[in-house]
Structure 1
């Protein structure tokens, strides 16, 4: 860890905002002007729009993440968590992945923790639910789905088979709809390799509390997406939610009940709860309260952006909506990070701050292989294969580093000629299990189970002990 006396810019979180803000600061900063320190529990940034494709096996897991140390070679990367911040003394408490916590002084602070899954106290959810917020969860979901298909193909019990082939997804927004569509596509392909599993044997269920899916696209496109799902044999329950998921028995508020071996939870996100320990102003929903300059309310040395911040939407407010806020998506996060980086440099040099203002360019969604939906500039609506091409082109360009762009395009290209790889690598989640089973000594027998040694008859001329 650096012991330089230079001013320290502490960036908490290495996601979209953390990575791009650090890149911007390092690019604009003069040599030795400051020390940039990035703290994150993971040593890589995850490009979350690609998680559905990673879950479906269309993209390798290693190509969905970007190593922070490779992209930010001039920054100080600390793998750990910031558990608390003392705003008066400007010190952060770091809990590293190993060793005792320690205090780290800073001069300027960037909060970019992103968001976590928004859950509710539903019985059985914590024990059985699977999130899709990290690459580990995406790959775990893929292995889990294929494991259930392996189970169904091998069993003779109809109840076990039915439960294994029932997949329930909660949340019909971008994350839920894209993940469901990609996984259903993968399962449809995988079924061709099984003797006893067909697509008709599977049951895919989508549960959404609102009155439509894909709300980001508006009513018309949401209706179209709903029709597409129904044509693919996916059951959709709108305006309802889950009451219970105990023992993988799903109970919906509308009275529908069924057993499902898979429960995928994508019902929205919320700001990271640890923000309450940082001593900054929070809004009613737990977001950091920031000005249009991305400065945290009441400070001139703290900035925040992305999913953990409540950023005013100046375009919407100029149009008459006084309560317009920037939605928590990658498009805004990437652009906010650049403005934030510039403002940190300006603040350090005593220059004026710039306000963040960006008109939404539209939205894109991939709904499986050769299927997609998008809205460009709020007017142009595309569906099907053409929208799928736009989706891949946009995210291919937005993916950080040429290295990852090239690898992803290469995978997309080869997949056009080669079949999708369908293999369950669930054992990777506990790779030492088999070795431990053979390396551990066999359990000792209980004393009462050990046969007593037989007494031998005394030899000739030998005295018997009294």
Structure 2
């Protein structure tokens, strides 16, 4: 029986394996999926996880729960040798192992684009994974608690200052949602003044949201600035050492929280550790039918899709255009990829990937959003409702749809939860603190426990 190896459990990988499970005949092939995380992250929900509008686990889809016929390996593929049809897997524990396959599906995704800026590696948090979104939210809530106990001054000002670097969809949505949360928190902290809240969005280009046209992008900037945000266009971070941000415009300030959303970079494994063809940007060379290769040459038994693949955009009028790396394309590519693999296994020709954009929609915070489809632009509450409606339909499995809807309904009546659980990132601190000397309360607790 053939082995189909799926590298990566993101959108494209998850949907490929999910559709293969449904379409493969008994004994036709076995599926193996390798990913270091046991879940697929539905990234469009991360801004709402940041704001506490969605529980973190609801933005993650369990691989083992929904891929019941697939063998899931917890590990990272570090190299692909298609010549010998083997991959090197680095498991969560133990030494590297070699794994053989008959057909490979490369959907390893992209990585966050990092720049060698002093202090960024030590200060910044990304926003590609659930853990990062939770950490951003907890960091903000903890900063509010700490600031409320201080007198006005430089430290309090730093604690109430947040910086997002990158004005793409991920950065703008996360920025808008966190700003919405921070503004609503002021009601619970009467000691703090709204004028002390400082939110900075830094973008190297002269505009934000490149997926929409100029006018809607300018409206988003004006909308954010009306809410008290500072949007720095044509600006770059020169340094962030110890939280002191220095911009190329000459501006300087201290920040407690820095979120890095400055785009994607090619996956290092795909770029440097495979004998499959790649383009000059380090992306997997993929044909329109999602087979690895060029227009004139096909690499047998190798397929690719998602953010790590240079997929031709046949719906674009621009010669040589590639599909943009977003969820809309990755999901549809994964579904077609599974159909095409089955078609080839059964002696049929694969179909080309063609998808016309459904438009761009973004949340800018609670009850705020923007949507554009060609010349049609919708702003405010209607766009925000469209954003939620589209993504609750798009998130895989009815189980996740129902969970997300239930938390939205709960939030509508009772508001967002504002409890910080930052301590879960250091779970042993409380346990070890009980052994510190000079804490009468701890000793009495211990005596009570012994007496019981």
Q: Does the CA-based 8 Å contact 1:192-1:198 persist in structure 2?
A: no
Query: What corresponds to 1:405 in structure 2?
Result: 401
Whether 2:231 is the aligned partner of 1:231: answer: no
Residues 166-198 of structure 1 show CA distances to partners (whole Å, capped at 9, x for unaligned) of 111111110111001100110111121113223
Unmatched 5+ residue regions in structure 1?
Answer: 1-5, 443-466
Query: What corresponds to 2:31 in structure 1?
Result: 36
- Counterpart pick for 2:340 among 332, 343, 350: 343
Query: What corresponds to 1:311 in structure 2?
Result: 311
Alignment partners' CA distance in 1, 2:136 and 2:32: 33
Give SS of 2:93's match: coil
Give SS of 1:420's match: coil
- Counterpart pick for 2:356 among 341, 359, 363: 359
Query: What corresponds to 1:3 in structure 2?
Result: none
Distance 1:94 1:264, change over 3 A: same
Alignment partners' CA distance in 2, 1:336 and 1:104: 25
Alignment partners' CA distance in 1, 2:232 and 2:190: 31
Q: 1:144-163, aligned counterparts within 5 Å?
A: 144-156=139-151, 158-163=153-158
Q: Does the CA-based 8 Å contact 1:52-1:138 persist in structure 2?
A: yes
Residues 420-459 of structure 1 show CA distances to partners (whole Å, capped at 9, x for unaligned) of 21111100111122113436999xxxxxxxxxxxxxxxxx
Alignment partners' CA distance in 2, 1:404 and 1:273: 32
- Give the structure with higher Rg (CA): 1
Residues 401-437 of structure 1 show CA distances to partners (whole Å, capped at 9, x for unaligned) of 1001001011111111112211111001111221134
Residues 209-255 of structure 1 show CA distances to partners (whole Å, capped at 9, x for unaligned) of 11111121110100110110110011111111100001111000111
Query: What corresponds to 1:213 in structure 2?
Result: 208
Whether 2:53 is the aligned partner of 1:58: answer: yes
Moved more, 94-103 or 331-340: 94-103
Alignment partners' CA distance in 1, 2:56 and 2:224: 26
Alignment partners' CA distance in 1, 2:158 and 2:193: 14
Query: What corresponds to 2:239 in structure 1?
Result: 244
- Counterpart pick for 1:292 among 275, 284, 288: 288
Alignment partners' CA distance in 1, 2:79 and 2:325: 24
Alignment partners' CA distance in 1, 2:114 and 2:64: 32
Q: 1:260-275, aligned counterparts within 5 Å?
A: 260-275=255-270
Give SS of 1:299's match: strand
Alignment partners' CA distance in 2, 1:441 and 1:174: 50
Q: Does the CA-based 8 Å contact 1:187-1:199 persist in structure 2?
A: no
Query: What corresponds to 1:91 in structure 2?
Result: 86
- Counterpart pick for 2:379 among 383, 393, 403: 383
Distance 1:440 1:349, change over 3 A: farther
Query: What corresponds to 1:460 in structure 2?
Result: none
Give SS of 2:250's match: coil
Query: What corresponds to 1:196 in structure 2?
Result: 191
Structure 1 residue 80: Cα displacement: 0.6
- Counterpart pick for 1:175 among 164, 170, 183: 170
Alignment partners' CA distance in 2, 1:284 and 1:84: 19
Distance 1:192 1:441, change over 3 A: closer
Q: Does the CA-based 8 Å contact 2:10-2:107 persist in structure 1?
A: yes
Alignment partners' CA distance in 2, 1:373 and 1:434: 44
Alignment partners' CA distance in 2, 1:440 and 1:153: 27
Q: 1:327-338, aligned counterparts within 5 Å?
A: 327-338=324-335
Q: Does the CA-based 8 Å contact 1:288-1:309 persist in structure 2?
A: yes
Residues 364-412 of structure 1 show CA distances to partners (whole Å, capped at 9, x for unaligned) of 1011010000113x23211000000100000000001100100101111
Give SS of 1:35's match: strand
Query: What corresponds to 2:9 in structure 1?
Result: 14
Structure 1 residue 323: Cα displacement: 2.5
Q: Does the CA-based 8 Å contact 1:301-1:347 persist in structure 2?
A: no
Alignment partners' CA distance in 2, 1:166 and 1:159: 11
Query: What corresponds to 2:450 in structure 1?
Result: none
Query: What corresponds to 1:101 in structure 2?
Result: 96
Structure 1 residue 278: Cα displacement: 2.0
Query: What corresponds to 1:123 in structure 2?
Result: 118
Query: What corresponds to 2:420 in structure 1?
Result: 424
Q: Does the CA-based 8 Å contact 2:4-2:30 persist in structure 1?
A: yes
Structure 1 residue 348: Cα displacement: 2.3
Moved more, 240-249 or 91-100: 91-100
